[in-house]
Amino acid sequence: MLTEKFDAVDVIRHKRDKLELTGEEIDWMIDAYTRGVVGEEQMAAMAMAIFLNGMNRSEIARWTQAMINSGERMDFSSLTRNTADKHSTGGVGDKITLPLAPLVAAFDVAVPQLSGRGLGHTGGTLDKMESIPGWRANLSNQEILDILDGPGCVICAAGSGLAPADKKLYALRDITSTVDTIPLISSSIMSKKIAEGTDSLVLDVKVGSGAFMKDIDQARKLAQTMVALGTDHGVKTTALLTDMSTPLGLTVGNALEVRESIEVLEGGGPADIVELTVALAREMLTAAGKPDADVEEALKDGRAMDRWRQMIIAQGGDPDAELPVAKDQHQVIAERDGYLTRLDAISVGVASWRLGAGRARAGEDVQAVAGIELHAKPGDMVKKGQPLMTLHTATPERFERALQSLEGGYDIEDEAPAPRASVVLDRITAE
Ligand code: URA
């Protein structure tokens, strides 16, 4: 009979009692959890102990390595192009991956965007892409390599072989209120990104009400932890801290966000989306050895759009197909004249989720059509009776709960707010 090296109860007690876990304890805990020897209830207790007592840098590094070791690693070494990837910690209206991947690919850098589905109020990139008729998220490793060799960018589901310990642990954290803590977020994100095997990585770490990290100091600490993990594993890693106090762009919801992304690829689109897409593209291209690439021009002259169309076709989609539109819509009207001084990201995110754009449980279907169109952003002057936003859904009985989420979610005042200087708040590089 196989005897286990440790007893889960002892390892949990060590973390509960604020002791530093040894490397061997961590390796065993993750491996035994992946094998099903450590039970869900035991890992739940461990996650809560980590949430409450934290982990030091060497514990986080070992935990991340153990999660990488729980599965396979992708190998992009056969590609002739450098690979560059971006990961966002998740926000409301964050559709940046959609224009960004083809934009960077337009400069012959391969962009493997292995993405996830959304849970809770932040939308998932795959859910957005699946509103394009015919488009397929699940690809074999060979298909991924072929698309990276051709169009140069791919947005697809991360295979189940990549960091399987994280897949189990993330689902568990989601139902035990242990998601938003630096050791577990940083090891979760970086284990997947390192296992994916990209040459370089840019992290978009969100700050504000719609993000895991509500204040900039915590976001900076998360970014520094992830940049150090990536750098130690030989992945060129930098991070931008970006504002998530208000939604990005003018749409939240799956098909609505695809439509807005296409506007950006046509050379238009909202200023904050263009600003962040360009800033992240510059980071990725600099890391890939192309610091002088004129990314703004590639959005305007259609080169990024060409890559987008090629990528959609390669994944079975029709780039010319009409995107679905909700048959039921409801407008929220300004009740007075003034300036919109606040539009809270989390209120809009939850409202969109309640309209059907997101899921409450893993595996649920989402509505492609559900979401919110914003007609004003903070700083805009509005007139009494003017629509502030339009709610979209295929199930109108959802309007009431969505409207409840928007109550208190915005302010209209006499004085204009101080303009936001930039959506990018800070840049973090390896120490
Ligand atoms: N995204 C992840 O992949 N993991 C986390 O823990 C948080 C966000």
Whether 89 lines ligand 1, by a CB cut-off of 6 Å, is yes
pLDDT in tens, 172-218: 998 899 988 999 999 999 999 999 999 999 999 999 999 989 999 99
pLDDT in tens, 84-120: 999 999 899 999 999 999 999 999 999 999 988 776 6
Please report, for residues 192, 333, 370, 390, the alpha-carbon distance to residue 393 in angstroms, rounded to integers and kept in the order given: 33, 18, 4, 10
48 C-alpha to center of ligand 1: Å?
16
Decide if pLDDT at 249 tops 70: yes
> Which among 97, 41, 98, 130 is positioned nearest to 359, based on CA atoms?
130
Whether 83 lines ligand 1, by a CB cut-off of 6 Å, is no
Average confidence (pLDDT) over 392-417? 98
Provide the pLDDT for residue 5: 95
Ligand 1 atom showing the smallest separation from residue 173 Cα: 6
Provide the pLDDT for residue 364: 82
State the average pLDDT for the chain: 95
Whether 189 lines ligand 1, by a CB cut-off of 6 Å, is yes
272 C-alpha to center of ligand 1: Å?
24
> Which among 425, 407, 400, 353 is positioned nearest to 93, based on CA atoms?
353
Provide the pLDDT for residue 359: 83
Q: Which residues are catalytic?
A: 87, 166, 173, 188, 192
Provide the pLDDT for residue 431: 80
Decide if pLDDT at 147 tops 90: yes
Whether 66 lines ligand 1, by a CB cut-off of 6 Å, is no
SS3 assignment for the chain: CCCCCCCHHHHHHHHHCCCCCCHHHHHHHHHHHHHCCCCHHHHHHHHHHHHHHCCCHHHHHHHHHHHHHCCECCCCCCCCCCEEEEEECCCCCCCCHHHHHHHHHCCCCEEEEEECCCECCECCHHHHHCCCCCCCCCCCHHHHHHHHHCCCEEEEECCCCECHHHHHHHHHHHCCCCCCCHHHHHHHHHHHHHHHCCCEEEEEEEECCCCCECCHHHHHHHHHHHHHHHHHCCCEEEEEEEECCCCCCCEEEHHHHHHHHHHHHCCCCCHHHHHHHHHHHHHHHHHCCCCCCCHHHHHHCCHHHHHHHHHHHHCCCCCCCCCCCCCEEEEEECCCCEEEEEECHHHHHHHHHHHHHCCCCCCCCCCCCCEEEECCCCCCEECCCCEEEEEEECCHHHHHHHHHHHCCCEEEECCCCCCCCCCEEEEECCC
Which range has the worst mean pLDDT, 154-168, 317-331, 336-350? 154-168
- Ligand 1 atom 5, closest CA: 185
- Ligand 1 atom 6, closest CA: 185
With bands split at pLDDT 50, 70 and 90, how would you rate the model's confidence at 158?
confident
Provide the pLDDT for residue 1: 54
Provide the pLDDT for residue 361: 75
Provide the pLDDT for residue 263: 98
Whether 172 lines ligand 1, by a CB cut-off of 6 Å, is no
Ligand 1 atom showing the smallest separation from residue 90 Cα: 8
Looking at the chain, the whole-number percentage of residues with pLDDT higher than 70 is 99
- In angstroms, rounded to a whole number, what is the distance separating the alpha carbons of residues 74 and 137? 17
- In angstroms, rounded to a whole number, what is the distance separating the alpha carbons of residues 257 and 123? 10
Ligand 1 atom showing the smallest separation from residue 189 Cα: 3
Provide the pLDDT for residue 2: 63
Average confidence (pLDDT) over 388-417? 98
Looking at the chain, the whole-number percentage of residues with pLDDT higher than 90 is 91
